[in-house]
Structures are given as C-alpha cells and as structure tokens.
Structure 1
Amino acid sequence: MTNIIIIGGGKIGETAAFLLHHSGNYKVTIADANLASLKKIAEEGINTISLDVNNTELLENAMQKMDVVLSACPYFLNVQIATAAAKTSTHYFDLTEDVAATHSIREIAKDAEVSFMPQCGLAPGFISIAAYDLTKAFDELHTVKLRVGALPQYPTNSLKYNLTWSTNGLINEYCNPCDAIVAGKRKDVAPLEGYEKFSLDGIEYEAFNTSGGLASLAEVLEGKVQNLDYKTARYPGHCAIMKVLLFELNFANKRELLRDILEEALPFAPQDLVLIFIAVTGKINGRFVEKVFTKKIFNQNVHGKDFTAIQLTTAGSACAAIDLKVNGKLAKKGFIRQEEVKLEDLMKSNFARFYK
C-alpha cells in the first residue's frame, strides 16, 4: 500500500483523494488549513490533518513517512512543498499551470534522490501527453494546435462562464506570457491574443492564447515543428469582456481584487464539460496529412458521488501519473516531463477512464 499525502482540500484535492482512496491501493491523507473542508473529506473515511503550508517544520513532519505528495494548492505554494519533498525524500506531483514555479521545481529536482513531476492535470498534463503521442506518427511536423476548454454546459451570463476550478490559476493563465513556437522559433506570445473561432459538434467556440498549458512541449518540439500553440476555448464573447476587465480597467495589476469579484459574481456550475481538441499537420511518407484528437467529457457520478468534468479530468490525470510512478513506469528520480509518459500506458490506468 502506497502512502500518499495530498496537500490542499479544494475541489481537485478532494477528488484526487476520493479516487485514490476508492482504488484500494493507496493509504490517503489529505492536509489543509480549512477545518470545514477537512471535516467534509473525513466523512468519506479519508484520513485528514490540519496543516499550514507556511510552517516549514509542520510541513516536513507531515510528509516524513509519505511515499508520494500531490500538491493541490495554489501555484504560489508549490515551491515550498517541493522543497519539503526533497528534504523528506517524498516523490512530488502537482497540478500547476505556473511556468515560474515549474522552473524552480526543476532546479530542486536536479540534486534530489526522488522524482518531481509538476503540471500533471488536464492542461498542462494530459493535453501534452496526448499531443506528443499524436506527433509520433509524423516524419515531418508542420503545426501542432492544442485547444482545451472547461465550460458550463448551460451558460447564462455575459461571460458565458462559471467557476469550475482555481480562480487564482484562471487569472494567472489570462495574464502571464504564453509559450509558443512561431515560424520555427520559440517565443513568448501575449495572453488573450491569437484569437480564432472553431466549431465542434455544431457548436461554435472561440480560442485565445493562455499561459502554462503547453508544459514542456515547446521545449521538446523546438527545432522539430514550424508552429505550436496552446489556446483556451470559451464560448464566443468571453475573450472581449476579459480584455476589458484585465487591460482597459487594469485588473491585470489588481489580481486579488479581480479574484474576489469573480468569486462573488460567478456561481459554481456542477453541470460542466471539458473540451479537448488537438490538431497536428505534417508529412507522413511524403504526403501532407492532418491528424485530430478530440473529446468532450461531462460531469458524472463516481462511486455514488457527483463530480464535475474538470474535477475528474484534472484529478484523474494526476492520479494516473502517480499510478505509473508507483508501478515503475516513470523515472526513479529527477525531473519528469509530461512527454516522458506514454499515452498508451496512461490510458491503461483506471484513473484515466474519464478520458475514454
């Protein structure tokens, strides 16, 4: 039985704990400073502990006898948890979209005796694994497009959006520079730019640049592809309103205030969907070809409990990555990129069943 501690008892942390607990292969402990969240989770039969991540001594003590730690905390706490993982020889996983935090964790991993695998959710995470797998069929790559949207099934407000995961992470993605490859050169592109529209199953969506979704895919494919980008999908009209809020009203420099406004104004939507669209063009046996990978995943009931699509896809991908590590399919130590995961191996994990 593998001992795992999940730090962060929010929607994704709770889901990961529930999935790992019900698999029967993991002894799960979930840590959070929010006692109300812990009480709710404890009712599921999952072990809980009260923990302030900023208390280094308590953090290291909590991780001391654990095999694996999964950080389901906001991105700005992940470096602290990764540092503690190195000190306690605990294999580290997280869900962050933050590029700077990931770079810091890579440095921590260099001299560590355990493995570090950040960015293990949906995007970044599963999307990079699936996209890289699709590129392997090509002799010569031209374009790789990744599009992901976590959306309400029934949008009713002007933003056509409801909160389904971390508001801090959402704002971070909308404000920070975005990794891309343009005309064969890796570069940063501006968030909320690169606007486009596309249709899937008769429904129209818009897409625009957001930060962090590529994980290390641009690094891996640099020099091998002409154009590579990641864009977030939304219903038409969302991008224009967010541009006004972030750049004309200057909320990009008042992120905490914007977070409070969004969390007060936008309700949580339990009926949601996750849209995944990957398109790769290039040459196979001398012929110019396009291959597409697309899925729509909806909220569903698991073991008698209702979960949103974004909970299941994000937590499911992270749990599947942890499962691969425990079963010897990933490196024993050092930094692990998403592209080192074989899609075939990932999909064999029961935790990845939501993507099927």
Structure 2
Amino acid sequence: MRIVVLGTGMIGTTIVSEIAKFKGIESVTAVDIRQESIDRCLEIANNPKVFGKTASLLSQEDFIQVLQDADVAVGCLPHSLSLTAIKAAIASQCHFVDLVGSMFQEKIELHTQAQEAGVTIIPGCGVAPGITNFLAAQGIEMLDVAEEAVLICGGIPRWPVPPLWYQVVFRLESVLGLYTKPAFAIKNGEIVELPALSGLESLTFPEPVGKCEAVITDAHSTAFTLKGKVKNLTEKTIRYPGHWAKMKVLEELGFLDNQLIEIDGGLTAPVKLSEQILAPKMVGHSNEDVTVVRVEVTGTKSGISKKYTWEMVDLYDHTRNITSMAKTTALPAAVAAKWIAEKKIVETGVVPIETIIVKDRFNPFLAELEELGLHIEFKE
C-alpha cells in the first residue's frame, strides 16, 4: 500500500512516522509546499520507506498530481484546502482520511461521487472531531434510549501564563474560527445553531489540569449523523478559567469579525489584525501541553438510568518529542489509514468516523490507540 500525507507540520510528520512503522505499508510520501519542512519530516521519520515531494497544493489539479498513484492519503491541511483535497482524492480514486471536520454539509454532498469512485473518505478524523465522535456514538449504541451526549475536549498548556492562559499548539486561524462560528448541536431531537462562546460552565479534571471552563463549540458531523439517535448533543471546548471571558469581550467588540474595514486607506478584516496582536500573547514558556477529553452519554438501558463516561488526560510526549495535541490528533488518523489499507474499513463514500468505529470495531480501534500511547478510561 502506498500512502501520501499532505502537510508536514508536527501533526503530519507524526502521521508519516507512525504509518511508516506499520507492516504492509510499501511507501509513505510526505508532501508539502516547503522543502525545509519535508527535510525535517524525513529526518524525524528516519525510515527508508518515507519519501518527500514538494507540490504547490493550490488547485484540485495540484492535488491530483500527488494523489493519482496513491492508495490512501491523509490530509493535514488548512481548513480552506480540505474540500479541494477531498474532490481530488475522489477524482484520483484514492481513499482519504481528513483531519479537518469543518464544511461537513459540503463534504457529505460528495458521498455518491465517492461511492461511485469506490473510495472511502473519512472527514474529521483527529481528536475532536474524531475520538470524541466515536466515543459518543458508541455510548449511544450501548443504550436503549439516549437522552444526552456531551463531547468535551481541549488542548491547553501544561504551564499556563497570563494574560490568556493559553498557547497555540496548531493554527491560530483555526483557533479563532472555533471561537467565532455558530455551533451545530442537537436539541430536543432537532439540529440547532447555538451562538459562539455560549453555554459557559465550570469543570474539574484530574491533575495536572484541575479547574477549567468550557463553552459550546461546533459538533461538526455528529449533529447530523447522530440526529435521531440521541435527544440532545453538544460539543464543548475547555480552557483555563478566565480565558473565555476575555475572548468574549473581543468578540463582542468586533475584534474577531471577518467583515473588511478601512484602516489608513487599506482594507483588512479585524480578525486578521487580532491574529497578529494575539499570536505573541499565546506563546507559552514551554512546549508542554495537555489534551483533555471527556465524553458523557446518558439515557436508559433495560429501563435503568445509565451514564457512560470516557475520559483522557494526555500529556506532552517526551519520547516522540511532540505535543500532546499533535499525538492525539495524528494517531487516530494514522490508525484509520492503516485500517483502510488492511481492508478493516471497507465502506465507501463520505463516512464520518462515528459511523464506522462503533460496535465490533470500537474496542479494537481503542486497543490500537492504547498500544500507540493513548489511554482512555471508561466509567459506567
């Protein structure tokens, strides 16, 4: 099997390194627009099965050129390129695992095309969306009647510093997008849109995390795929106390708006200005981070009230020398690509991970994540 990984940042490099270790993988091609990023990826992977390739990755034709000879590809790309890459994968008859979960409605419209091409497209296959999705779906499957599913996740600094008590571990553009977009959720069995930064609540996690705060963020594909199976569903993102209040003020004042305004004769979006100002304020004193997941599903089983909870507190990986966010995002995608290569996943079309990593596949998938260093605890 020939694998292509699009994007060689920390997450992409981790995926390249892990996939290259799997048996049955003939080659892994690391693709990026920057040769220096590819060189760093090859050095870290240190595997004769790994090759590098530069490509512009701007148009569908650019993607087709690097995907046409591949069996499976993994997309570690900016949100703006995700849909284009999926269309190219379908045209190239290449299976595709995508870390990006946004634009789900546009992606699911490609389901029939993907089926006709005989390819598997898995959108949002990281930690959230990704791990949180199939944990919620499995909890719902375990109940006769599912009342509520709450998906909670957050990547936070191990050693938080003021003023925002947060450090960027992936693209700041993606972080601010999470803060500004209305959130799809399920309420009383119907899909609803909830305001960004709403639903503030306090939470406590095991050490070294402690007290946190969470707000509602987009539930991505689960609002659509789990509708009809659960009465209420929301996704929430955690930060340390005080962070959300400060970001809410910026949002209310318009600093996170995308609408262009004139400044000294030029046009710019306030959010672009805010990115430049906030970026240095979101740099921590250490690269060490923590990724927290908690998925709670409540309902009844055989007439008895049940609550299922999965929880993960994952720390910076000193063995791999990568952030926890990179590890927890990369490993589910790497295993999913491996399972496609091994024909453990055979469904074609656009198939969100919560529709395929349930029932008989659930425990084996978790077991492989455990072997790679991701430990998720379950409590009933």
Q: Return the TM-score normalized by structure 2.
A: 0.86
Does structure 1 retain, via aligned residues, the 8 Å contact 2:101–2:125? no
1:187-226 alignment runs, 5 A limit: 187-201=192-206, 203-211=210-218, 214-226=219-231
Could you give the per-residue CA deviations for residues 197-234 of structure 1, whole angstroms, max 9, x where no partner exists? Answer: 111226111000112xx332222332332321000011
CA shift at 1:314, angstroms?
A: 0.2
User: 1:290 matched to which residue of 2?
Assistant: 307
Does structure 2 retain, via aligned residues, the 8 Å contact 1:29–1:47? yes
Could you give the per-residue CA deviations for residues 165-208 of structure 1, whole angstroms, max 9, x where no partner exists? Answer: 12222111111111111233220111110111111226111000
User: 1:320 matched to which residue of 2?
Assistant: 335
State the distance in 1 between where 2:278 and 2:17 align: 28
1:248-267 alignment runs, 5 A limit: 248-253=253-258, 254-267=270-283
User: 2:145 matched to which residue of 1?
Assistant: 140
Structure 2 gaps of 5+ residues are 259-269, 376-380
Q: Which one of 103, 107, 121 corresponds to residue 105 of structure 2?
A: 103
CA shift at 1:301, angstroms?
A: 3.2
State the distance in 1 between where 2:13 and 2:100 align: 16
1:205 alignment partner AA: C
User: 1:82 matched to which residue of 2?
Assistant: 86
Name the SS for the 2:346 alignment partner: coil
C-alpha RMSD of the superposition: 1.9
Could you give the per-residue CA deviations for residues 210-259 of structure 1, whole angstroms, max 9, x where no partner exists? Answer: 12xx3322223323323210000111101011112223143232333333
Identity %: 25
State the distance in 1 between where 2:74 and 2:40 align: 19
User: 2:262 matched to which residue of 1?
Assistant: none
State the distance in 1 between where 2:257 and 2:24 align: 43
State the distance in 1 between where 2:251 and 2:14 align: 31
State the distance in 1 between where 2:302 and 2:287 align: 46
Name the SS for the 1:138 alignment partner: coil
| Aligned pairs, number | 349
1:150-165 alignment runs, 5 A limit: 150-165=155-170
Structure 1 range deviating more: 69-78 or 28-37? 28-37
State the distance in 2 between where 1:291 and 1:47 align: 43
1:41 alignment partner AA: C
Q: Return the TM-score normalized by structure 1.
A: 0.92
User: Is residue 2:187 matched to residue 1:185?
Assistant: no
Kindly tell me: are residues 165 and 92 of structure 1, through their superposed partners in 2, closer, same or farther at Cα, counting changes over 3 Å? same
CA shift at 1:332, angstroms?
A: 4.2
2:277 alignment partner AA: I
CA shift at 1:260, angstroms?
A: 2.8
User: 2:261 matched to which residue of 1?
Assistant: none
